[in-house]
Structure 1
Amino acid sequence: MVQINHASFTGLRPTAIWQSAGLLFPGIAVAVLVAVAAQFLSEHYGAPAMLMALLIGLSLNFLSEPETRTAPGIGCAARTVLRLGVALLGARISVEMLTRLGTGMIVLVILGVAATILFAMLAAKLFGRGWRMALLSGGAVAICGASAAMAIAAVLPRTDKSERNLAFTVMAVTILSTVAMIAYPPLSSWFGFDALKSGVFLGGTIHDVAQVVGAGFSVSPEVGETATVVKLIRVAMLAPVVLIFSLVIRAGKLDAGSPGGKRPPLLPGFVLWFLALAALNSAGLIPSLLASLAEEASRWALLTAIAAVGIKTSLVKMIEVGGSAIGLVVVETLFLACFILIGLQSFG
């Protein structure tokens, strides 16, 4: 199979670019079609689009075999399109959204992210899982579900289990996020939270953005707006968390004794773009229409990427992850919910 550098076409002649594009097109087209099908199912039957894209992709695993014409493009979609989607998330972030919440609530949300990741590192040892799974699942639960899982996976040293673990994590956090979308609004009412605390609880604990929006606005518009802002604060934590992971891995603090993994760059290019877009948006330099287009493009890019990840993943191998990994993600989710609940109760 022809090896292609998906990161850049720099230095290629026009003919070579067209040849490379021709090799990539079949696989990318398949991933896009799966994304479109998943979105259709989501809109008409209420199923999470990310989960649908992953499940459909898993059923098409044969298309990722090295001898197929679709393999190069699927690999590109699982990596390059993924990075594009994460980078475009930056256009949704601004400093202005931080002013809508009090300092105490912002600190609580940030501490929730940090505490959940640290808890994941400890819990992983109890569940017999390695540090890669701890960072992947802990970051996904703490920050923004499937999007965070894919961003973190992009900077972890790659192994033969990387695609399997990513697919499992995306599926687990998406399912748990959907359960939380249904269960958490009544729970916030049971605790007697006002609109602010309800929004902080829902936005600070539910994994995926779509489910946060669904849960928040099912209570009231005010709760929905607050929950969305809180969720975006968690999304903003993606860049510093990825940077910290990269620094720790490059320093060899985690990778010692685990050969076979290629170290990520100090700060991946897609994280730089994420930060640049966030800075431009904070400065008011991105028009609202362009920001909306970037948000929509990001959603489709991530949906296409997870479809490609599903196609690259063998369902049999994913099942081999085992019950301990399921338990790990569940306890991480419960820990985050308890942490935010305790924090909100401490505010009186």
Structure 2
Amino acid sequence: MSTFALVSVHSRARELLPGFIVSLIVAAAASFLSEHYDAPVMLFALLLGMALNFLAADSSCKLGIEFTARTVLRIGVALLGMRITLEQIAALGWKPVALVVTLVVVTILVSVVAAKLMGFQRLFGMLTGGATAICGASAALALAAALPNHPQKERATLFTVIGVSALSTLAMIIYPMIANGLGLSPEQAGVFLGATIHDVAQVVGAGYSMSTETGDTATVVKLMRVAMLLPVIVCAAMITRMQGADPAGKRPPLLPWFAVGFLILACVNSTGWVAPAIQGFTNDLSRWCLVVAISALGMKTQLKELAAVGLKPILLMVGETVFLVALVLLLMHWGL
């Protein structure tokens, strides 16, 4: 029996390896271009992946690309838990926590309603709203993994990743100017940047471009938004369950395994027993898993399908971004 299992595993690995290696090469190229041109790595991974979309139809690569876009993505999301500690959140007090919870819940609800009014599926609103409110491309990928299957889900996910990456880059440049223009203190500026910019890397870049104190505060507030990923994934999983079983007849779990992994790693990281080197390695591994997965997703996408999305989704995402900025400034004015 063990020999049969080994043969089965070996056979499965041979099927998956070509597609996974191609995704890894695309991710490595995207990382090189990102460092060279100082631009979002997710965006490069998507664009390079889409340029090689013919490989997803190739029999030798198809299974590996499917596996990478699904399973490697979920591993990367689970590893995000190592970025968070309860001590970091407690150090800022209750006000930033209340602000983050409020902005995430309100932004997602408004996005779902806006998406419905604009003629989209509610799930598209949850996808774009979650990406805007939580942590950009990582949240979009995590939510897509938890939401029910839909013919347009992959296209919607890729569009969201592209949109949120572009908006996050713009925010990194513009939002520090807004903070200076409003005369915010270093701590207030950190809360503003951490609560509004989409991706973690851009929050770090914007925060530390202003001051060390602003950068530290912005990073912790941003990680609090990342922590909101878990309850939002659970809500997405509950929606999936309420919509019934999938075509294979399997009822999706209330708490997906990658969400359990996220929670466990966040708890382990909160103990203070994890060495900084291990934290750094896990964070790098998480980033690589997400970049490799988005490369695979890009290869599964047809450019003409993405071009057919139209103007309305762009307006939806820009509107969500502007709404988030206005909401955060309002909440800060009220003392949160």
TM-score, normalised relative to structure 1: 0.92
The answer to whether 1:97 aligns with 2:85 is no
CA distance in 2, matches of 1:340, 1:289: 34
CA distance in 1, matches of 2:129, 2:240: 16
Q: Which residue does the alignment assign to 1:61?
A: 53
Q: Which residue does the alignment assign to 1:324?
A: 312
Matches within 5 A, 1:5-84: 13-65=5-57, 67-84=58-75
8 Å CA contact 1:61–1:313 kept in 2: the answer is yes
> Which 10-residue stretch deviates more, 277-286 or 304-313?
277-286
The answer to whether 1:171 aligns with 2:159 is no
Q: Which residue does the alignment assign to 1:333?
A: 321
Output one character per residue of 1:287-336: Cα deviation in whole Å (capped at 9) or x when no partner.
Answer: 22211111010000000001111011111111222211111111111111
Q: Which residue does the alignment assign to 1:270?
A: 258
Matches within 5 A, 1:1-348: 13-65=5-57, 67-252=58-243, 264-347=252-335
Q: CA deviation at 1:249?
A: 3.3
CA distance in 1, matches of 2:126, 2:250: 16
Change (3 A) 1:216 1:315: same
Q: CA deviation at 1:160?
A: 1.9
CA distance in 2, matches of 1:307, 1:194: 40
Q: Identity rate of aligned residues, in percent?
A: 49
8 Å CA contact 2:45–2:294 kept in 1: the answer is yes
8 Å CA contact 2:113–2:122 kept in 1: the answer is no
8 Å CA contact 2:18–2:64 kept in 1: the answer is yes
Show structure 1 runs of 5+ residues with no match.
1-9
Q: CA deviation at 1:261?
A: 11
8 Å CA contact 1:88–1:298 kept in 2: the answer is yes
Aligned-pair Cα RMSD in Å: 2.0
> Which 10-residue stretch deviates more, 283-292 or 72-81?
283-292
CA distance in 2, matches of 1:43, 1:18: 36
Amino acid at match of 2:312: S
Output one character per residue of 1:49-88: Cα deviation in whole Å (capped at 9) or x when no partner.
Answer: 00000000011110001x4311111111101100010000
Amino acid at match of 1:244: C
CA distance in 2, matches of 1:97, 1:287: 16
Amino acid at match of 1:125: K
8 Å CA contact 1:116–1:335 kept in 2: the answer is yes
Q: CA deviation at 1:248?
A: 3.1
CA distance in 2, matches of 1:324, 1:261: 35
8 Å CA contact 2:108–2:129 kept in 1: the answer is yes
Output one character per residue of 1:245-265: Cα deviation in whole Å (capped at 9) or x when no partner.
Answer: 21233234xx89x99998632
CA distance in 1, matches of 2:176, 2:21: 39
Show structure 2 runs of 5+ residues with no match.
none
Instruction: Indicate the structure with greater helix content.
Output: 2
Change (3 A) 1:111 1:74: same
CA distance in 2, matches of 1:165, 1:261: 25
Change (3 A) 1:22 1:334: same
CA distance in 2, matches of 1:242, 1:83: 12
CA distance in 2, matches of 1:265, 1:61: 31
Change (3 A) 1:261 1:56: farther
Q: How many residues were matched structurally?
A: 335
CA distance in 2, matches of 1:121, 1:148: 16
